[in-house]
C-alpha cells in the first residue's frame, strides 16, 4: 500500500513536470502566465489521479518508444506515398475489403488503443471495429500482406509498453 502510494506520487511528479514543460513551451516562457498555469496543472494532476485509479500501471520501455517512433514515421511516409500512387494511377489500384485480425495485445491498459490509433495511419489499413477478441480492419488492398503488417505493428506497440506477445499464428491452433 505504501509502496503503491510512493509509485503514484512519483508518477504524479513526472506528469506534473511534463505539464509544466508543456505550459512553458506554449506560453513562450511568459512569467505572468503561471498565474493561470499553476492552478491548471494542479487541477490536471488531481484529475489524472482520479483516472489512474481505474487503469493498470503504465510501463514504458525507452528503447521500445524510440523504436516505435521511428517505425511510425517511416510507415507514415510509406502510407502516404502508397495511397498517393494508388489514386493517381490511370486505373485505381485498389481492392478494398475487410480483414479480421485476432488480438495478441492484452485487453487491459492502453496498448490496444494505441494499436487502433496507429493502424489507421499506417499503409493500407483502417480500423473499422474493435472487439474483445478480434479487430476488424478495412484494407485498401485486401490481397496484400495485411496480417503480417498488423503483426509487426502489434509487436512494436508491445515493445513500447514492455509487453510480451505470443508467437504469431499460435492463435489459429
Partner 1 sequence: MTGEDVRSALSLTLIGAGIAFFLAGSIGVLRLPDLLSRLHALTKADNLGLGLVVLGLTLQADDAFQVVRLLLVWLLVLFASSVACYLVAHSATHANGEPTPTVGPDNPSMDKRDGR
Partner 2 sequence: MPEWMTVALWIAAAVVLATIALGLVRVERGPSNGDRMLAAQLLGTGAVAVLLLLARAADAPALLDVALVLALLASVAGAVFVRRLGVQPVQRGQDRTAEDGP
Which are the contacts of 168, defined by CB distance < 8 A and separation ≥ 6? 104, 151
Alpha helices in the chain (DSSP H): 2-26, 34-52, 62-88, 111-119, 146-160
| All residues at 6 or more sequence positions from 68 whose CB lies less than 8 Å from its CB, including other chains | 156, 157, 159, 160
Return the number of the residue (4 or 143) whose C-beta is nearest partner 2: 4
| Half-sphere CA count of 154, side-chain side, radius 13 A | 22
The least distance separating partner 1 from the CB of residue 30, rounded to whole angstroms, comes to 11
Nearer residue to partner 1 within complex by CB, 123 or 159: 123
Q: Is 30 in the site for partner 1 (CB under 8 A)?
A: no
Does 97 interact with partner 1 (rule: CB under 8 A)?
yes
Choose, by CB under 8 A, the member of 88, 108, 133, 166 that binds partner 1: 88
The option from partner 1, partner 2, none interacting with 66 (CB < 5 to 8 A, set by class) reads: none
Distance CA 68, CA 28 (A): 29
> Which residue's CB is nearer to partner 1, number 7 or number 87?
87
Distance of CA 27 to the CA centre of its chain: 27
Q: Kindly identify the residues of this chain, within the stretch 89-128, that bind partner 2 according to CB under 8 A.
A: 103-104, 106-108, 112-113, 116-117
Shortest separation between residue 143's beta carbon and partner 1, angstroms: 7
Is residue 55 close enough to count as binding partner 2 by CB under 8 A?
yes
Amino acid at each position: 500500500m505504501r509502496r503503491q502510494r510512493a509509485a503514484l506520487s512519483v508518477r504524479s511528479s513526472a506528469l506534473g513536470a511534463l505539464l509544466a514543460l508543456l505550459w512553458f513551451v506554449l506560453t513562450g516562457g511568459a512569467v505572468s502566465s503561471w498565474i493561470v498555469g499553476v492552478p491548471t496543472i494542479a487541477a490536471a494532476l488531481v484529475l489524472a489521479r482520479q483516472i489512474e485509479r481505474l487503469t493498470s500501471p503504465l510501463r514504458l520501455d525507452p528503447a521500445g518508444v524510440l523504436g516505435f517512433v521511428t517505425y511510425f514515421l517511416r510507415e507514415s511516409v510509406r502510407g502516404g506515398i502508397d495511397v498517393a500512387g494508388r489514386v493517381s494511377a490511370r486505373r485505381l489500384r485498389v481492392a478494398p475489403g475487410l480483414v479480421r485480425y485476432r488480438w495478441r495485445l492484452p485487453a487491459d491498459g492502453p496498448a490496444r488503443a494505441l494499436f487502433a490509433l496507429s493502424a489507421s495511419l499506417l499503409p493500407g489499413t483502417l480500423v473499422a471495429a474493435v472487439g474483445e477478441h478480434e479487430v476488424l480492419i478495412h484494407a485498401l488492398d485486401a490481397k496484400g500482406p495485411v496480417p503480417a503488417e498488423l503483426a509487426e505493428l502489434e509487436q512494436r506497440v508491445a515493445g513500447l509498453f514492455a509487453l510480451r506477445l505470443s508467437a504469431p499464428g499460435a492463435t489459429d491452433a
